[in-house]
Structure 1
Amino acid sequence: MQDRYNFPAVFHYNSDGRIGIYFPDLPGCVSQATSDEEGIKKATEALELHIFGMEEDGDSIPDPSRLSDIDLEPGERTVMISAIMPLVRDAMESKAIKKTLTLPYWLNRAAEAKGVNFSALLQNAIRENLGIQDERRY
């Protein structure tokens, strides 16, 4: 795993003002925008999430193409996009995940009457059950 990845994105400028964005080296890594500024932001987010998913799945990450090797259609431009992965990994590690649980009605009612924070209680119980002291180390 690298700390930084740089991949060329192709911005395809549509006649309606929208920009389609794709990464020739990363099939399925796509986005869209309505301005260049938004396009760079959306392309960065798409690249970060795509690379993170590939890392999580154990997929090999290809070498990026050289800008000069990318064939463009009329109305297309290449933009080099960077993903700084330590920041992405930290953000994803801290991201909250929604879980659904089932409780008997009477227990839910009693807990709500006492102001129980269900998320905090469940997190603490899971940490205790797993013997985890530092919340980000497992």
Structure 2
Amino acid sequence: MRKNPDRYFFPAVFTYENDREIAVEFPNLDVATCGKDDADALLSARELLGITLFGLEEDGEDIPTPAKLSALSLAPNQRAALIDVYMPAVRLAGVNKAVTRTVTIPAWLNAAALAQGFNFSQVLQEALKERLGIEA
């Protein structure tokens, strides 16, 4: 069985047009996304790259060889960038398996939470997502 790499690098073409979102296309993968500014476009591109490559891995399809940045033909309103994605994080995100964690809290806090009917797992998940800046 072939081991998939932990990190991929693919070129993306960012297209800038007045009063429009920044379009981002991966020529080797025939997929595209967009973003309201450079940072948003980059994050969207990285997420799309991860999802696309994860799907190819899961389906057992070949991952295309990335083109070289220097080989891309660009219009005056386009810029090319090499986008990377760390696949172990993407692969784990695709697995929604629950894991058990033991936590320790003061007895008074436990009693107050039980009295209010809190679901400890849900509260911990929400707090972790908030601290990590994850929207889901």
- Shorter-chain TM-score: what band? 0.5 to 0.7
Aligned to 1:2: 5
Q: Give me the whole-angstrom Cα distance separating, in 2, the residues matched to 1:64 and 1:74.
A: 22
1:1-138 aligned within 5 A: 1-27=4-30, 29-94=31-96
Percent identical pairs in the alignment equals: 42
| Cα distance change, pair 73–57 in 1 and its aligned pair in 2 (3 A) | same
2:19 is matched by which residue type in structure 1? D
Q: Given residue 63 of structure 1, which amino acid in structure 2 is its aligned partner?
A: T
C-alpha distance in 2 between matches for 1:58 and 1:95? 22
> Structure 1: which 4+ aligned runs deviate by more than 6 Å?
none
Root mean square deviation, CA, Å: 1.4
What stretches of structure 2 of length at least 5 have no aligned partner?
Answer: 99-136
2:43 and 2:60 mapped to 1: Cα distance? 26
Larger Rg: 1
C-alpha distance in 2, partners of 1:72/1:3? 29
CA shift, 1:17, in A, is 3.5
1:2, CA displacement in angstroms? 1.1
Structure 1 residues without counterparts, runs of 5 or longer? 97-138
Count of matched residue positions in the alignment of Structure 1 and Structure 2: 95
Cα deviation for residue 74 of structure 1 reads 2.0
- Partner of residue 135, structure 1: none
Which residue identity lines up with residue 70 of structure 1 in the other structure? L
Q: 1:30 to 1:95 in 2, by over 3 A?
A: farther
- Structure 1 counterpart of 2:55, one-letter code: G
Q: Secondary structure at the match of 1:94?
A: coil
Shift of 1:64: 0.8
1:87-118 Cα distance to aligned partner (Å, 9 max, x none): 1001111279xxxxxxxxxxxxxxxxxxxxxx
Q: What is the rounded CA distance, in whole Å, between the counterparts of 1:63 and 1:84 in structure 2?
A: 17
Q: TM-score, normalised by structure 1?
A: 0.65
Partner of 2:116: none
**Secondary structure of the residue that 1:7 maps to in structure 2?**
strand
